[in-house]
Chain A
Amino acid sequence: MAELMYREALNQALAEEMERDANVFLIGEEVGRYQGAFKVSQGLLDRFGSARIIDAPISELGFTGLGVGAAMVGLRPVVEMMTWNFAILAMDQIVNNAAKLRHMSGGQLRCPIVFRGPGGAGGRLSSQHSQALESTYAHFPGLKVVAPATPADAKGLLKSAIRDENPVIMIEGERLYALKGEVPEGEHIVPIGKADVKREGKDVSLITWSRMYYFCEEAAKQLEAEGISVEILDLRTLRPLDEEAILATVRKTNRAVVVEEGWPLAGVGAQVVDIIQSKGFDDLDAPVVRVTGLDVNMSYAANLENAIQPDAPKIVAAVKKVLYREGA
């Protein structure tokens, strides 16, 4: 199996799907001649031409609407958001149109479109460029939301997203693009809606997704050294949530910590806790603990930026709390 960077895995998925289906096209700012703001679309303009790799003007609302309209009549657009921070300008088209077309038309229309781009905090960019927005999109019926942690999942989920008949939000890890991992060649599909146990353990479950997975791994290693066996469930898809997998891991370990990069209020993690307490309460030996970003806007100052985000020590502390160990 080839070792690929996360961005290369996405590139491969895009190229393979465009090869497979001429209805697939990519539109976004700098996706063509600039080769992608984060180089996800590197080389695609030469391969597929300017009608399929489209350099859009800086008009997030406009080109998102264009994409949705194209999907309504059978094309399969992939709309690249330079980052999800700017997709906020396109919210109306994503939420009020893409997510609702099938419903409002009584099942006449479908909208097979992918909105994708980098999300997540960090990099000393301050408030407007540094935020994890997945819970915003996970809120809306009619959308599917995926957030892969590894290069292999990134490829497999993007392929699924492009083939899906529904609008799919794909939040990539801005800080994961250069990360390397084994990626199966060719037809590698990761189904939407299926979580993945990335690490088997028996004392506590860490439930997470995207970049936070790596902090969980770091925490798990430390905890393992102290004799605590940690299971990590990577949700991968945030809408629909894989309830079965969430309940199964809690059944196994009887303790859970939910780790989320975004803000606590109305976060996806809050929903995970609700699923556990309403359907898996009898399996719990301790209240579920959440580790989230702090409920503040992101700062530029290095120390503040670090303090705002979850990290391995915070996760370790949370695990000790659900295990009723020292320091909690």
Chain B
Amino acid sequence: MASKYSKDLLLTMYRKMYLMRRFEERAGQQYGLGKIAGFCHLYIGQEAVAAGVEEAIRPDDYMLSGYRDHAQPLARGSDAGMVMAELFGRTGGYSKGKGGSMHIFDIEHHFYGGYGIVGAQIGLAAGMAFASRYRNEDRITVCYFGDAAANQGIFHETLNMAVKWKLPVLYICENNRYGMGTAIARVAAVPEIHKRGEAYGMRHEAVDGMDVLKMYEAVKDAAAYIRAGNGPVLMEANTYRFRGHSMADPATYRTKQEVEDERKNDPIPRLKDYAIAQKLAKAEEFDAIEEEVKQQVDAAVKFADESPEPSLDELWKDTIVEEGEEDVRPRERVLGVKVTNWPKYPSGQELKVTWDLEPREQAEKADKAAGLKR
């Protein structure tokens, strides 16, 4: 049977996964050289999730993540050199080196940040989705978080509101089975995170997060459901990180055997093998992509290395918005690229809020039933 996927889709997803992998390997290496400091959480092993998601949603859908946040923006189209420069703490970084590894922001590509407090972005995502509904936009918000984040209060508080108010948000729990050194099964009453959606009457599902095509299919379906106004979805992508929690973690809490077994599931060769078996692409075409990506990442490291440290007067900028101050557009600032798709929101007068959180008739009916007068 012929594959139902186009060659273009498969190669695009492959390129993205390979870029994420290669970038993270180089980031790890640069950490070892002392060029990157602080915490540095690599995404290696989880690439199928971000690549599958990205091809299944629209580029202008909003996205947020936790602190394991270098790779998802790359899948969105962020500049690899600028992400690397951010990791180096240099002017050329997306946040001028002020955010570092855990706080990548690329608003031009609708990537609204990495957050260092476990679970904090779950609430923000609901607010962004709320804004989309408020303005009658059909964009959705995709929010990544880890399995451990699902034990935070904000997860529960937010799911409750998201369902009640039908917010257009897709929560993707990247379940890599560990929160730092703690296996999720040791600390979670229900380690299958998606099942928690049940308690909130929320559509939920588990997906093989090591298979980019399964991710792609599941997200396409969920995104359509959300865009149609049905409310949020909780998706659990079962995945695995091949490296430690962060660069500082030798990951002695799991066995060699476990990691070796999981590595057999590596999503990158898996996609390549599939495409070749389906005769959708030839090995040489993958070789060419890999070569291009290698050069892209080499250039990114070079760019970061040559980018200067921020000047000390930067200390006093970017804390409070001063009167009339414009927002910084990183690619314009760093690469001189004219950014045309910077988000613009309708001003108060143009904006008509037509949507009802609690439709009046319903409220009145409920009152009547309860014998209340409004």
A residues sitting closer than 8 Å to B (CB atoms) are 20-25, 32-33, 49-52, 54-57, 59, 61-75, 77, 92-93, 96-97, 101-110, 141-142, 144, 165-166
Contacts and interface: CB of A to CB of B under 8 A. Distances in A.
Contact of A141 (B105, B129, B319): B319
Contacts of A109: 105, 107, 112-113, 327
Contacts of B1: none
A32 to B, nearest CB: 8
Which residue, of A72, A105, A106, has the highest number of chain B Cβ atoms within 10 A? A106
Contact of B105 (A67, A96, A106): A106
Contacts of A24: 348
Contacts of B318: 102-103, 105-107
Given A65-B124, A92-B120, 9 more contacts: A22-B349, A50-B359, A57-B161, A61-B123, A65-B123, A66-B127, A97-B117, A105-B103, A108-B106
B142 to A, nearest CB: 13
Interface in B51-76: 62
Contact of A107 (B113, B132, B154, B328): B328
A103 B98 contact: yes
Nearest to B154: A61
Interface in B61-111: 62, 93-99, 103, 105-107
Interface in B152-208: 153-154, 156-158, 160-161, 164
B126 interface: yes
B321 interface: yes
Contacts of B357: 50-51, 54
Interface string B2-39: 00000000000000000000000000000000000000
Interface residues of B, number: 63
B134 interface: yes
Question: Which 5 A-B pairs have CB atoms at the shortest separation, nearest pair first?
Answer: A65-B123, A69-B127, A62-B157, A106-B95, A21-B348
Nearest to B125: A69
Contacts of A70: 127-128, 130-131, 134
B343 A62 contact: no
A125 to B, nearest CB: 25
B127 A67 contact: yes
B128 A51 contact: no
A111 to B, nearest CB: 9
A57 to B, nearest CB: 6
Nearest to A99: B319
B1 to A, nearest CB: 43
Interface in B234-276: none
Contact of B328 (A33, A64, A108): A108
Nearest to A67: B127
B283 interface: no
B350 to A, nearest CB: 8
Contact of A105 (B113, B129, B345): B113
Contacts of A25: 134, 353
Contacts of A62: 123, 126, 153-154, 156-158, 160-161
Contacts of B124: 65-66, 68-69, 72, 97
A49 B320 CA distance: 32
Contacts of B338: none
23 contacts: A21-B347, A21-B348, A23-B345, A23-B348, A25-B134, A49-B360, A50-B356, A54-B357, A61-B153, A92-B120, A96-B116, A104-B103, A104-B105, A105-B103, A105-B113, A106-B93, A106-B95, A106-B99, A108-B94, A109-B112, A110-B321, A141-B319, A165-B325
Nearest to B115: A97
Contacts of B112: 72-73, 109
Contacts of B99: 103-106
